[in-house]
Amino acid sequence: MYHAFLLKYGEIGIKGKNRYLFEEALVDSVRRALKDFPQEFEVTRPSGRIFVECKEDFDFEDVLHALQNVFGLVEICPVVLVLDEGFDKLAEKVVEFVDKVYPEKNFTFKVKCRRSRKDYPLDSMQLAAELGGRILDAFPTLSVDVHKPDVYIYVEVRTHNLCIYSKEYEGLGGLPYGTSGKAMLLLSGGIDSPVAGFRVAKRGVKIDAIYFHAPPYTSERAKQKVVDLAHQVAKYSGPMNLYVVNFTDIQLCILDHCPHDELTIIMRRYMMAIAEHFAKEEGCMGLITGESIGQVASQTMQSLECTNAAVSMPVYRPLIAYDKQEIVNESQKIGTFETSILPYEDCCTIFVAKHPVTKPKLDRIEKSETHLVGFIEPLLEKAIDEVEVISID
């Protein structure tokens, strides 16, 4: 029954002079979300809102779902469009709309009108009052409540037509794709990092991702799992490059030359350093990890301090104060959980010590790393040279 969607956005509304940039980015995101549908959608931006119209029939649920994955949209309202053929005809359509959308006639309502064309014969207040009257005439079991109605019936007078809507579906919120710069996500096959990427991307940050694998200790399937997760995150965050770095020789080198209880920390520091290298190349302004205080030995505040010191770029850790269960809940919500829990080995777990340090000291770690001098440099260079870049669309 619906012909179009009216899309409402929240925070962008307060961006002042730059508002149109955010609106344009949001329109682009909406177009991208709809580009794979067989139908042609027209996305326009009349005064402070976005309209998605389609002249053909489309699958309402599918399109709604696609729009619900777009960062920056706060509400998605399916609308019925009618031509301006006088008030009586409009009232008839509004009554028909109420009848279809709300089969149970036992609620309170309020009609709200808005005119973007001021030459309509009735002003907004009059139009709302008249339409409310017609609805009551048609369905005497309904009643009007102007303060706390169960249901709002919206009618907007537009330049070429009128639109009627009522249901408002929740959008994701956040800021549109690419309005906040770019960052590099350290993406492992676990539960946390996809959620971390989602969270930062939701703030309008474009993301690229980097994955460290350790063949033959980690399998092709483990890598495929990360590629799958990147696709799942990209459904929200937009297209990204996934850097796949072969980390095996670096890990073996650390294993050979450094104390075993410091392996994880030292390895993490090298991961960060390599990630920073590619981040700079890509024009990223920061790194993103899925770390959370105290989750494991390598994420105590002392460990985080050591990891952080390996790079000069800001490191964004959106899950820093989340409990594991909260992260799990979010990963289920965004749809990455099922993939994340597939049982393939992770390069960190294979080389992990039985009793890793939980309170590493940076000066000691740096001292241990001096044992790598002369060995690790060519390995770093090789890992960087031989990176595989997978384009995730």
* Residue among 1 and 321 whose Cβ is closer to ligand ATP: 321
* Residue among 51 and 212 whose Cβ is closer to ligand ATP: 212
Q: Is 212 in the site for ligand ATP (CB under 6 A)?
A: yes
Return the closest-CA partner of residue 165 out of 347, 2, 351.
Answer: 2
* Residue among 193 and 246 whose Cβ is closer to ligand ATP: 193
Applying CB under 6 A, which of residues 74, 172, 293, 296 lies at the interface with ligand ATP? 296
Applying CB under 6 A, which of residues 69, 124, 295, 332 lies at the interface with ligand ATP? 295
Contact 310, 272 (CB under 8 A): yes
Cβ 314 to Mg ion, closest distance in Å? 21
Q: Is 282 in the site for ligand ATP (CB under 6 A)?
A: no
DSSP-derived letter for residue 12 is G
Q: Is 190 in the site for ligand ATP (CB under 6 A)?
A: yes
* Residue among 68 and 300 whose Cβ is closer to ligand ATP: 300
Applying CB under 5 A, which of residues 78, 132, 190, 286 lies at the interface with Mg ion? 190
The reply to whether omega before 216 is within 30° of 0 (cis) is yes
Q: What phi, psi does 321 have (nearest 5°)?
A: -115, 20
How far is residue 285's CA from residue 355's CA, in Å, rounded to a whole number?
A: 35
Q: Where are the beta strands (DSSP E) in the chain?
A: 4-9, 41-44, 50-54, 73-82, 108-115, 143-144, 151-157, 162-165, 169-170, 182-186, 206-213, 240-246, 287-288, 315-316, 388-392
Contact 379, 270 (CB under 8 A): no
Cβ 328 to ligand ATP, closest distance in Å? 10
Q: Is 194 in the site for Mg ion (CB under 5 A)?
A: no
How far is residue 281's CA from residue 199's CA, in Å, rounded to a whole number?
A: 23
- Give the DSSP H or E segment for 274: helix 263-281
Q: How many residues bind ligand ATP (CB under 6 A)?
A: 21
12 CB-contact burial (10 Å; exposed 0-12 / middle 13-18 / buried 19+): buried
How far is residue 81's CA from residue 157's CA, in Å, rounded to a whole number?
A: 10
Applying CB under 6 A, which of residues 52, 67, 347, 379 lies at the interface with ligand ATP? 347
Applying CB under 6 A, which of residues 177, 211, 337, 351 lies at the interface with ligand ATP? 211
C-alpha distances in Å from residue 173, one per residue of 8, 32, 42, 75, 236? 10, 17, 22, 8, 12
* Residue among 155 and 347 whose Cβ is closer to ligand ATP: 347
String marking each residue 170-189 x if it binds Mg ion according to CB under 5 A = ------------------x-
Residue 204 binding result from Mg ion, ligand ATP, none, given CB thresholds of 5 to 8 Å by partner type: none
Applying CB under 6 A, which of residues 23, 156, 192, 276 lies at the interface with ligand ATP? 192
DSSP-derived letter for residue 327 is H
Cβ 237 to ligand ATP, closest distance in Å? 15
- Give the DSSP H or E segment for 378: helix 376-385
Q: Is 262 in the site for ligand ATP (CB under 6 A)?
A: no
What tokens does 240 get? 């990204």
What tokens does 196 get? 């971390």
Cβ 347 to ligand ATP, closest distance in Å? 5
* Residue among 183 and 271 whose Cβ is closer to ligand ATP: 271
How far is residue 213's CA from residue 339's CA, in Å, rounded to a whole number?
A: 17
Residue 228 binding result from ligand ATP, Mg ion, none, given CB thresholds of 5 to 8 Å by partner type: none
Q: Is 4 in the site for ligand ATP (CB under 6 A)?
A: no
* Residue among 51 and 243 whose Cβ is closer to ligand ATP: 243
Q: Is 348 in the site for ligand ATP (CB under 6 A)?
A: yes
How far is residue 235's CA from residue 362's CA, in Å, rounded to a whole number?
A: 39
Which residues, numbered 339-358, are part of the site for Mg ion (CB under 5 A)? 346
Binding site for ligand ATP (CB under 6 A): 186-188, 190-193, 210-212, 271, 289-291, 295-296, 298-299, 346-348
Binding site for Mg ion (CB under 5 A): 188, 190, 346
